[in-house]
Structure 1
Amino acid sequence: MINYNGSLISEEELQLTNQNRAFKYGDGIFETIKLQNGKIVFLEDHYFRLMASMRMLRMKIPMKFTLEFFEEEIKKTTAAFNSNLLRIRINVYRKDGGLYTPLTNDVDYIIEVKEITSNVKEVYKLDLYKDFYNYSGLLSTVKTTNRMLNTLAAIYAEENDLNNCVLLNERKGVVEVTNGNIFIVKGNTIKTPALTEGCIKGITRKKVIEIIEKHPDFTIEETSISPFELQKSDEVFITNAIVGLQPVTNYRKKEFKTEIGEKIGKSLSLMTITA
């Protein structure tokens, strides 16, 4: 079952027209959220990012779109599932009609749910994707439904026996990976690309930064990172809402340790449980 504008229907019942703006123009945004043991993980953070994205894209936010509203809609949609681990995706897009200029800024929404299993991998291979760039700028920090670059990079990874690819911006700086944010460790310093590099304003990224800021042994820098720095790092790890923290073991011919990433990953897991 999926939730279409508040009504629970089967996937087969969902009818999107040829005027759907998310389909025609990528005129939509989405949030991916994890439900673990009946708890919606970091819901408040996801909600505020969704609202900020709608405002940035000049979508009209309905009065009913409160935090409590989305919590109830998610619970209603997940009630039929007997799994302790679910992926929730909230899709919001402008209503049908218009060319580049929409007929209205009113929105529709869809909430879809999938069962998932824990998928942190012991061996995780990474490389650069250099065919196209993820251009820096504020719009790149928003999770729009235009994910062509991520799709092409994911295909490249599959074709080359990789688990993921690093996306670069027009200055050839590291931005993120196809499905999450990236961190590098060198000595006691942990770096992640600044939002000005064009990376998604990830919720798990934010939580990991908070963990590192409180840790007495490490410092965090949000900055520009070159592929050369990636190669010379002691450790590399990636983050997203579903996996949490995934240590990287291989980048090209380089093999990484995973001790620090695993330690931070445990702190993140505790934060997920207690938040």
Structure 2
Amino acid sequence: MCKSWQAGVVVFAANPQIWRFQFHPEVWILIAGVLLLARYAVKVIAPNFVEPNEEIYTRKNFFAFWAALFALWFASDWPMHDISEEYLYSVHMVQHMIISLIVPPLLLTALPVWLTKAIFGTFSGDRTFTKRISNPIAAGVCYNLIVIVTHLPFAVNYSIESGAFHYFLHLAVFVSSLWMWLPIINPMKEYRISLPTQMVYLFLMSVVPTVPAGFLTFAGGALYDAYDHQVRLWGIDITTDQQLAGLVMKLAGSIYLWVWIAARFFQWSRRNQPEMVLVETKAENTKV
């Protein structure tokens, strides 16, 4: 992506060679760093916290880790990174959905309990930090603020101009999303909020994104100058691109969260079924 000035206004121009391969060493350095940290945790940290007869990680941890790593690479490397940054904001939205809704829950699922306790330092007996960081109100507010800020025109346009700001926004999206999911998928189950509260919490997380999604879907013109250029991938014009981005954010994001809500509802129903049967039995005995 390059830019020029015309009559004091920034004009963005995309490279016409859309499918040219672009190597992103920072992505592979990140992946390699995560792998090295995982190996260090298993080989060096684990012996200090895991008993000899206990398993260091489960199959669930293993597959969730590799799934999270693959999703992170897929969203960050060529071609998704380049298409989302230079050509289609709708692909940029898909990228953000992966970074915020797919990778964080997988990564939290990949964390063994002993490693989570080691990270939060709860083996020392001080649980204040863990309680504070597991606060759903703070996590939810932070996540939704980042969602709103990252879709403001000046933030989107400047992230295309500045590589450093671009990576800062992605880091902010990832960290805030990881925090948002923590009250639900904390490996230390005692710090999770109750299942009914989880359902309400996830519902609220699906409400705020409808605001930027609405602007994207019903905007009459280009909201982001960085994507308003002549090079159109697959012939998708700027208005259609924005509408697709809004639909991805609203429909795909909401449906995904509602699947989580439904799963939590059935889980809560199964847990309470014996109590409901007991209450019904007592009621029948009372009638007799």
Normalised to the residue count of structure 2, the TM-score between the two structures is: 0.24
More strand by share: 1
Normalised to the residue count of structure 1, the TM-score between the two structures is: 0.25
More helix by share: 2
